[in-house]
Amino acid sequence: MLRLISCHRWQTFIRTGVWVRWCSTSVKPKSQQGSDQTRLNPLNIQMLSRNLQEQIFKGRTQEYTDEDVERSIAHLEQHKLWGKEAALLPDVELKLPQMYGNDIDEHFSLLAQKQSLPYLDAASHLQRARLPRMPVEWAWEVGWTRYGPGGERQSVNFPDEKAIVFDVEVCMEEGRCPTLAVAVSPNACKRLIEDRYTWSSDLTMADLIPLETPANSTQPRVGEWKERLVVGHNVSFDRAHIKEQYLLK
């Protein structure tokens, strides 16, 4: 069915056996008397109140041809819906935030670009990068260990790069909690080793893998969460073992 947002209305009458339709901008059924904010389309369907329409569509209206309206009316008649009156809903008086662009399409397009840009940049950087060489020798140390391109290694709280490829391994015969995790970025390789292989049923956040906060903390070091990209295979499985995924904020 055609969606119409014009302010005109169409009415139907039977005159000498012939259906006659005309446009009316002033006469409204008593049950459809609204405020000056009320807007009806040619099919007597209530539209956005004038206050919202002016903010979202910048006051622009759309005109439709007689053919479009006639086709819509015929469709309503086919389903026995044409001519039925409905009570008007109260008009909405709401001040919306400033929109981006010239219309609602541009607003959401620009908003999506703004919010996704950090992740697109991280993915592009990761796609163009060459992976570092794997360490010749892995340290058997609990927690995250970073292996630099020159073979140096150091203990870290978590991988802090903007984009990483990540994987988790679980010793399923002993439980469902993480045993080993690896992460690789264009700058370094990292591996996490848990301090045990068997688990009790009483687990805490400290038993999960930290990816954004230190092991004994639930807040980022600088007080703000950063946009980061984590790439993996069957990521719903890996995600279930990440500590930060269980934080409420």
Active site residues: 167
- Residue 120 to residue 24: CA distance in whole angstroms: 51
Question: Using CA atoms, how far apart are residues 105 and 114, in angstroms rounded to an integer?
Answer: 14
- Tell me if residue 58 falls in helix, strand or coil: coil
Residues, the chain: 249
Chain mean position to CA 212:
21
Q: Which region holds residue 96: left if phi is over 0, alpha if psi is between -120 and 50, else beta? A: beta
Residues 6+ positions from 181 with CB-CB distance below 8 Å = 166, 167, 168, 169, 191, 192, 209, 241
Residue type present at position 62: Q
H/E segment holding residue 154: strand 153-156
